Structure 1
Amino acid sequence: PSGDHLGFGGVCQDLGKIRVFCRIRPFNKSEVARGSQCVVSHPDEYTITVESSRGLKEFQFDRVFSSTSSQENVFEDTSRLIQSAVDGYNVCIFAYGQTGSGKTFTMIGDKQQEAPGVVPRAFKQIFQIMEENKGRFSFKVSAYMLEMYNERLLDLFVAPSESLSKKLEVRKDKNGLVYVQGAETREVTSAEELFLMFQQGCTNRHIASTRMNAESSRSHFIIAIILESTNLTNGTVSYGKLSLVDLAGSERAAKTGATDEQLKEANSINKSLSALGDVISALSNEQPFVPYRNNKLTMLMQDSLGGNAKTLMFVNISPAEWNAEETVASLIYATRVKAITNSAQKNSQSKEIARLKEIIIQLKAGESVELDV
């Protein structure tokens, strides 16, 4: 590890393949009511089998969590990536699956926060790591929060009426790090402040009731946390980005009983997930051209898929026979993601480079600068 590394092992050395965790949710009320059979089993913690109309299908992942796995269990293996983000790496954790498969529960948790998910736990861990290292590093934390709804990027940190009039553009910096020009970025100083800001942003998100889910997410949701750390001994500055993404569910209108407006939303969701599938297919087959620019979602995730991020995907599935077709489709999708290789590199610069950049900013602003000769 480098001299300003915060002492983390494990995932830091695993710079290649995207990791994929599979999580089986418990039966829901509608599945119990229709007397649906369980078609999913996991003989060990890496294997999952599904009894489908085309026979028994078997899949292998980095970890399989059963319907009885707790939120603590799930976060345990995820938490090491939070350290990577503080260390100056680009990290993405995202959830995929059909509508009602438990993605939002995995990422955010229940409404009462009696069983918090990956997002609130990540917030806490960021500030715990910083507290433990405050004698050697100074830190700055900021965040932006977006949803992609009906092909549009919306800023969740501002009122919906204001968000509609804002122009948000997906950009990449010289290091290949994706950022969103025009998005409101807010600085925070505690996990509580970050979570409160997050909750306020969530109230602006589009949700609706469908047959599959009492509160179905009608948009893709992204919160990006920018982590800047300065080594107090040598002045080296590292920049990490933690992207937490709750993708809207893939769905078939006949199953969800969608209204006209919801059909429009579903078409938009399926179109973006299809574009994401095309990117995943191109990357897993090592094709020379990857169609990132076909959709705003794939542009947003460009540094997380085939880019410079350490990426973890949760594929969430239903255990019920009624959903077997969608379950198999999700697991095939996730298997492709597992074949993608990223190249994660630490984002850091020396004290001297940081000083020169500051001088350039001052000169551009027309300020006088004293140069050391």
Structure 2
Amino acid sequence: MVEDMKGKIRVFCRIRPVNRTEAAQGGAIVVDKIDEFSVTIETPRGQREFQFDKVFSAEASQEDLFHDTNRLIQSAIDGYNVCIFAYGQTGSGKTFTMVGDKEQKNPGIMPRSFNAIFEIIRENSAKFEFKVSAYMLELYNDRLQDLFVSQAGEAHAQTQSHGQARRVEIKRNRKGVVFAQGAETKEASSAQELYALFQQACANRHISATKMNVESSRSHLIVGIRVESKNLTNGSVSTGKLSLVDLAGSERAAKTGAKDHQLKEANSINKSLSALGDVISALSAELPHVPYRNSKLTQVMQDSLGGNAKTLMIVNISPSEFNLDETLTSLIYATRVKAITNNAQRNVESKEIAQLKEVIMKLRSGQSVEDEDV
């Protein structure tokens, strides 16, 4: 029932544990979870309180977080556009939340979602026929890259063909659903297959060390999973899309020690996050014009933030005084997101429309069409 409430982008806040650097500095803890929905932060101007749909303390496990996210996976299988994205400064724990740790002893929302998708499919296999496909992209220095194609492999292919690298462009279909034109979409028939594709994508992603983080994500990671389900009783077809986004960290260059190409990366990251902030401000204020076109990031997330999507933002914050300014900024940003209203709708087609589409596909590919197809 909560998932079907009209027009609510849900926002979770996750406080990460104090890290070794912060412990060594001996700074004060300025963030506190008051109850399930409230968090306070001590600022030079006094205490400020923020309310969210759920607040997770530093003690909360990956299982705890996913338990409250799980129902959205069902919505994607039911034919909704669903987006789960993590936001926060560099080193606030976004990649841990979305991907998990390196050894996968504590898998994040992405790998857990893969298991949940195929668990739901298994439970419903007697009534529905399912098809799962995925694309995985990286937005790096304002360029979209297909993570199913390694950059070395792409460069080699370019040299061989003396041509341009394959361009990945963001397009929207007539229903407003975003898709990545030029990116490879791969089918998966099990959680293991989907996870193997995901590992391949992660291996091609840009990361590097900064003063704030040993392995800082230098790009936005966008995983799009399309689930098509055919009702075996009435022939209707629904198509849902689950977008899982691990945003790169917002940061101040002086604090992270970014130089040269890292500084270029940081500027590109901050520019795209600023564009996302402008879109969020326009949506929360219900302005007639929403500036989606200002950044590739906001174009990719257009069907997740505005319109008919079910969206969950997880704002990740540090509890330490050292990160007070960034934490406060993240909490204010997340409060704006909470003010956005959407009208979630399912993408369902009747049996007749599904059949007509099949006929058109056959005609286009030169196959013969039988009487029973029409």
Length-normalised TM-score, structure 2: 0.95
Q: Distance in 2 between matches of 1:357 and 1:193?
A: 28
Q: Which amino acid aligns with 1:235?
A: G
After the TM superposition, which of the residue ranges 20-29 and 54-63 deviates more from structure 2? 54-63
Q: Secondary structure at the match of 1:303?
A: helix
| Per-residue CA distance 1:277-306 (angstroms, 9 max, x = gap) | 000000111110000000000000001112
Q: Name structure 2 gaps, 5 residues minimum.
A: 156-164
Shift of 1:29: 0.8
Matches within 5 A, 1:200-211: 200-211=200-211
Aligned match of 2:161: none
Q: Distance in 1 between matches of 2:135 and 2:366?
A: 30
The alignment status of 1:44 with 2:54, answered yes or no, reads no
Q: Which amino acid aligns with 1:314?
A: I
Shift of 1:363: 2.5
| Per-residue CA distance 1:117-157 (angstroms, 9 max, x = gap) | 11111100000001011111111101000000001000000
Shift of 1:251: 0.2
1:85 to 67, 76, 81: 76
Q: Secondary structure at the match of 1:101?
A: coil
Q: Distance in 1 between matches of 2:192 and 2:28?
A: 42
Q: Distance in 2 between matches of 1:312 and 1:42?
A: 20
Shift of 1:371: 3.8
Q: Secondary structure at the match of 2:69?
A: helix
| Per-residue CA distance 1:219-238 (angstroms, 9 max, x = gap) | 00000000011111111111
1:25 to 16, 21, 24: 16
Q: Secondary structure at the match of 1:314?
A: strand
2:122 to 118, 131, 135: 131
The alignment status of 1:296 with 2:291, answered yes or no, reads no
Q: Distance in 2 between matches of 1:290 and 1:253?
A: 29
Aligned match of 1:3: none
Shift of 1:162: 4.5
2:107 to 98, 105, 116: 116
Q: Which amino acid aligns with 1:29?
A: R
Shift of 1:17: 1.3
The alignment status of 1:183 with 2:183, answered yes or no, reads yes
Q: Which amino acid aligns with 1:101?
A: S
The alignment status of 1:53 with 2:33, answered yes or no, reads no
Q: Distance in 1 between matches of 2:365 and 2:31?
A: 62
The alignment status of 1:69 with 2:60, answered yes or no, reads yes
1:97 to 74, 84, 88: 88
Shift of 1:369: 2.4
Q: Distance in 2 between matches of 1:183 and 1:343?
A: 29
Q: Distance in 2 between matches of 1:354 and 1:42?
A: 49
Q: Secondary structure at the match of 1:240?
A: strand
Q: Distance in 2 between matches of 1:207 and 1:45?
A: 34
Aligned match of 1:6: none
RMSD: 1.2
Q: Secondary structure at the match of 1:226?
A: strand
| Per-residue CA distance 1:78-105 (angstroms, 9 max, x = gap) | 0000000011111000000000000000
Shift of 1:307: 2.1
Aligned match of 1:150: 141
Quote the sequence identity (%): 67
Aligned match of 1:333: 333
Aligned match of 2:362: 362
Aligned match of 2:343: 343
Aligned match of 2:193: 193
Q: Distance in 2 between matches of 1:22 and 1:65?
A: 6
The alignment status of 1:275 with 2:275, answered yes or no, reads yes
Given that 1:156 and 1:163 are in contact with CA atoms closer than 8 Å, whether structure 2 keeps it comes out as no
Q: Distance in 2 between matches of 1:44 and 1:68?
A: 14
Shift of 1:163: 4.6
Q: Distance in 1 between matches of 2:364 and 2:119?
A: 38
Q: Which amino acid aligns with 1:90?
A: N
Matches within 5 A, 1:161-176: 161-163=152-154, 165-176=165-176
| Per-residue CA distance 1:343-369 (angstroms, 9 max, x = gap) | 211011111111111222223334442
Q: Name structure 1 gaps, 5 residues minimum.
A: 1-8
Q: Which amino acid aligns with 1:115?
A: N
